[in-house]
Amino acid sequence: MILSKLRRRRSSSEGAARRPQRQGTGIDLPPTPLDGGVVSCQVHDERGSPLPEATVTVVDRLNQQVGQGKTDSYGFYLATVPPGVHKVSITAGGYLRAGARADVRTNRHTSIGNVQLEPDTAVALPQPGTWRFDPDHTEARFIAQHIGMSKIHGAFRDLDGYIQVASPFEQSRIEVTIDASSIDTGVKMRDDHLRSPDFLDVANHPNLHFTSDRITPMRGDRWLVSGSLMIRGTTSPVQLDTTYLGQRAWNGTRAACLCETELRREDYAVNWQEILNKGIAVVGPTVRIELDVQAVLDE
């Protein structure tokens, strides 16, 4: 019995020794393996605010990647890596890369501390003027859940739009018109149903229409485009999480961006539903939207 108690004490003390703590706090970090250590940092933008979704890559002296991940909503990154002197690279869209070195010890927490990223001034915003969507390189996609199991992917094949770029850029205006009948999921019977009054009611409402009313810079290459979207005669506010992808010279001057949002069907009176056993809906209540845009400057 005495031997059993000694074993439990020894096991408990060894387990505690294997859990390094954050420097300056009494908070336990996740357990680390006997042959590994913990590396961490917090990433900030040029204003000193925490920068989420920055990519942190850790490579060893042989340039082999030993860790990679994204910062959380507070700008923190933490990973368990093998011991050694490692190079840490931190990148985020719209910012210059930052680097640091970390001497990681076994069963120890190595904190790089605060890392501030600076804006990449080489990523220029579009110049003032009218930028028209290139229909051959622009696509409006959607994703909807089916019977609570799989996802249905589709797209609208016919759309038109433009960006009236102003100075400052925040005063720019975006307008998009989508032909509702061009919906395509690859299954004719399903597409015909989506065009019917149960969903888009194409006969009475041939177009989907979006108009922006505010463009707000968020961080780096991220923007928030707010506006109104009309579907089957019903208009509701919508916000597009937008990533600016920069410019290229190819058959004119081009700018590109990726916009994403999630729509609730009930906001547009698209209320058709069929319920399976156990209350499972055939079509999910929300639809994920992705708009991949290339726009060409009118010369």
Backbone torsion region of residue 26, taken as left when φ is above 0, otherwise alpha when ψ lies between -120 and 50, otherwise beta: alpha
- Give the per-residue pLDDT at 37: 92
CA dihedral 267, 268, 271, 277 (to 10 degrees): -50
Q: Which two tokens stand for residue 90?
A: 């931190």
Bond before 168 cis per omega within 30 degrees: yes
CA atoms within 13 A on the CB side of 109: 21
Q: Residue 110: inside a domain, yes or no?
A: yes
- Give the per-residue pLDDT at 18: 39
Q: Residue 121: inside a domain, yes or no?
A: no
Q: Residue 96: inside a domain, yes or no?
A: yes
The per-residue pLDDT for range 197-246, each reduced to its tens digit, is 999 999 999 999 999 999 999 999 999 999 999 999 999 999 999 999 99
> Across all residues in the chain, what is the average pLDDT?
88
Q: Residue 206: inside a domain, yes or no?
A: yes
Question: Which segments of the chain are extended strands (E)?
Answer: 37-44, 55-59, 65-70, 76-81, 84-91, 98-104, 109-116, 129-133, 139-146, 150-156, 159-165, 173-179, 183-184, 207-219, 222-231, 234-249, 253-264, 283-297
Q: Do 90 and 188 fall into the same domain?
A: no
Closest CA to 127 of 293, 252, 291, 259: 252
CATH (domain of 44):
2.60.40.10
What is the distance between the alpha carbons of residues 168 and 172, in angstroms, rounded to a whole number? 8
Q: Do 185 and 285 fall into the same domain?
A: yes
Which amino acid belongs to residue 93?
Answer: G
What is the distance between the alpha carbons of residues 74 and 48, in angstroms, rounded to a whole number? 12
Q: Do 244 and 167 fall into the same domain?
A: yes
Mapping DSSP to helix (H, G, I), strand (E, B) and coil, where does residue 262 land? strand
Q: Residue 21: inside a domain, yes or no?
A: yes
Count: domains in the chain: 2
Q: Could you tell me the CA-to-CA distances from 51 to 82, 105, 177 in Å, in that order?
A: 26, 27, 34
Q: Do 156 and 235 fall into the same domain?
A: yes
What is the distance between the alpha carbons of residues 38 and 40, in angstroms, rounded to a whole number? 7
Closest CA to 104 of 70, 61, 62, 68: 61
CB distance 215 to 206 below 8 Å: no
Q: Does 174 score more than 90 pLDDT?
A: yes
- Give the per-residue pLDDT at 278: 58
Q: Does 25 score more than 50 pLDDT?
A: no
Q: Do 217 and 152 fall into the same domain?
A: yes
Q: Do 263 and 143 fall into the same domain?
A: yes
Q: Residue 183: inside a domain, yes or no?
A: yes
What range defines the domain where residue 212 resides?
Answer: 129-297
CATH (domain of 174):
2.40.128.110
Q: Does 8 score more than 80 pLDDT?
A: no
CB distance 114 to 136 below 8 Å: no
Q: Do 30 and 69 fall into the same domain?
A: yes
Q: Does 275 score more than 70 pLDDT?
A: no
Q: Do 158 and 89 fall into the same domain?
A: no
Q: Do 195 and 223 fall into the same domain?
A: yes
Q: Do 71 and 184 fall into the same domain?
A: no
Q: Do 95 and 156 fall into the same domain?
A: no
Q: Does 281 score more than 90 pLDDT?
A: no
Q: Do 17 and 109 fall into the same domain?
A: yes
